[in-house]
Chain A
């Protein structure tokens, strides 16, 4: 058994140009010691059994997404790595402060850009940057959202460079997903590694649905003790449907589809067995452009005709607010540090990844000359779509990409490739380093911003890969924030 476990750890080869979450040079970092000691007592067979158990639990709980091929649905689980990712208390304090500051600024930006536009008039963010963004919605102009909160739920993506510095990669301010995996991954760890969590002083994540529910209740436009809150889902064929049901269940709110709702005289109702019931707050998981066929995409079946007018009249609260996409656009991203200085008069705590605007000819020229060190992204795509990783792309791919960029440079940005930190993963009987990012979830309510200690760690399961998106072969890990 002893030889087996040393095998488990000895083959762990950290890339010297990468920050590893577990190893610093060749010693195990303090925060990982408890877990490493625990793993040392396990045989490879036991660990493989645990991995098997985790898979079975996901499958039988229906934590799956369906891939439709040849007219038949095949159930798949999002890959889960059994080794937790660990964040120290000090790291967490720093992240928490940084996110809180950033969200405050982003929220002020949204309020500003949809009202007086001081930041544009003062020349801090260029007008054309905002007006050319497809997610900037004129329909949102000049109306007060409840408590001035636009971003009720944010999933901010962080990565770590080779020296361990945290960078903000993306602000997800529209309908960030994945929080059910934060919750479920923890439940799975409790099952496969009994006692390990309390022994390591891990902070709990289970408060998330309660905080969210409290915030939703506080947004109700009707003064009533029991406002009707609904979670609006696109339906069972949506890949995040499991998440929608989980959240609805954990909060005890009604899960509705667009066809369950109807608008009468600028008020939202749901169709029930006892007739129409008023709806006060909608936590929607449907994108802006599908929300209301009368205002946005006219052929959308997912939304509710007349919803925007009910919203603008203040008869219903929508979470997150409509039109947030202008603040998490990849080109606007460059200006977030400037926003923090402008609105808060503070220096940004968390850094941005250096970003080149390809709409700017000088920056474009620089990027075109260094394509192999760059990652090219479309400003309004997410999920790892529309990306080019310069270090692995062929010359032809690069040339094709350049042609695409020149068609509409505003739609693209470039960033130097950040290596991403690595964390241990259980891979076929041994631990191997794989690249990870981190998405904590922040909730903003009238009482302030709360960030649940934890988050979703996404991991690129292919060796050497830097893309963690689940649509590109990524998996996830339970994420521990230590209390001390």
Chain B
């Protein structure tokens, strides 16, 4: 596979995973903003998914419609859903002969949907949830079509590598910022706070089934970092990353393969063979940051060993 094509598939997939993360986060936090929570603020969401500085975030953190506008349709925000869907589509456009026609059409439709001014105007005037739902559904179509139509070859491996690097980073980010918001005080048992966090990453029901003792910050950490069956946990993401990476094993690029195999294996062991206690002992922030940095490094190594074409 052409290096440029692998690169584009990887980024297309990362952007789509990010789109999904942002939209889910917005949908649940919007609900939370309507719930009578005394201190609700958009600040953590803005910190996870935008590059706004402290001041910029503070300026809109209490203005729900402004946040929605900024994060979904703002052209100046390089991480707005509009911009990242556009990037995903541009990447897809350059590799149309490597994705299925259905997949291309789905991304193309998504792009035209998000650019439909009449639709997104609803974010300001109407019920934003129904608009977000339309967009989330477009993203789900993307996942479904990828699963059903894409051949399980090298391209599929790069799609998944991008997806799970992005997801792992996102999980670490979300957890880190949500806890920093509480100044890493694990004794807080603010039920609604944890509930909305779990809802925003579709982990609420699993939590209820796993833990019968109500909301405890330690359990939240355990589920989001260590639960191998929770599709948005760090461990799950790293396991999947490893699985899809192994399909790239090829005599022709042995050096690159060995290097990355080592790096990914190292992250995997680090996450897999730890406990909540030892994470907390090490310091939650430090742990999450190092996982995130390692994942970024994996991305850089892919760039170097697989995507170098310029």
Which residues in A have some Cβ–Cβ distance to B below 8 Å?
Answer: 59-62, 72, 75, 235-236, 241, 245, 248-249, 253-257, 259-260, 270-275
Contact = CB atoms under 8 A, between A and B. Distances in A.
B101 interface: yes
Contacts of B101: 61, 249
A434 to B, nearest CB: 29
B151 to A, nearest CB: 12
A209 to B, nearest CB: 12
A237 to B, nearest CB: 10
| Top 4 A-B pairs, shortest CB-CB distance | A274-B252, A245-B96, A248-B97, A62-B108
A236 B93 contact: yes
B108 A260 contact: no
B180 interface: no
A275 B252 contact: yes
Contacts of B6: 273
B36 to A, nearest CB: 41
A245 B1 CA distance: 16
Contact of B4 (A59, A62, A248, A260): A260
Q: Which of A60, A61, A235, A273 has the most CB of B within 10 A?
A: A273
Interface residues of B, number: 28
Contacts, number: 67
Given A59-B112, A61-B108, A272 B93 contact: no
Contact of A60 (B105, B248, B306): B105
Contact of B105 (A61, A72, A273): A61
B309 interface: yes
Nearest to B89: A62
Nearest to A231: B97
Contacts of B306: 273
Contacts of B109: 60
Given A59-B112, A275-B253, A256 B97 contact: no
Given A236-B90, A236-B93, A245-B96, A273 B3 contact: yes
A249 B95 CA distance: 10
Interface string B90-108: 1001111100010011001
A278 to B, nearest CB: 13
Contacts of B1: 272-274
A260 B7 CA distance: 12
B2 A274 contact: no
Nearest to B94: A236
A67 to B, nearest CB: 14
A235 B97 CA distance: 13
Given A60-B108, A249-B101, A257 B4 contact: yes
B148 interface: no
Of B2, B250, B310, most buried by chain A (CB within 10 Å of CB) is B2
A53 to B, nearest CB: 15
Identify which of A248, A270, A271, A274 gathers the most chain B CB atoms within 10 Å of its CB: A274
A255 B93 CA distance: 11
B293 interface: no
Nearest to A63: B108
Interface string B282-310: 00000000000000000000000011111
B63 interface: no
A273 B247 CA distance: 13
A268 to B, nearest CB: 13
A274 B307 CA distance: 10
B222 interface: no
Interface in B133-166: 154
Contacts of A60: 105, 108-109, 112
A271 B97 contact: no
Which of A235, A241, A260, A272 has the most CB atoms of chain B within a 10 A radius of its CB? A272
A273 B75 CA distance: 34
B253 A273 contact: yes
A274 B97 contact: no
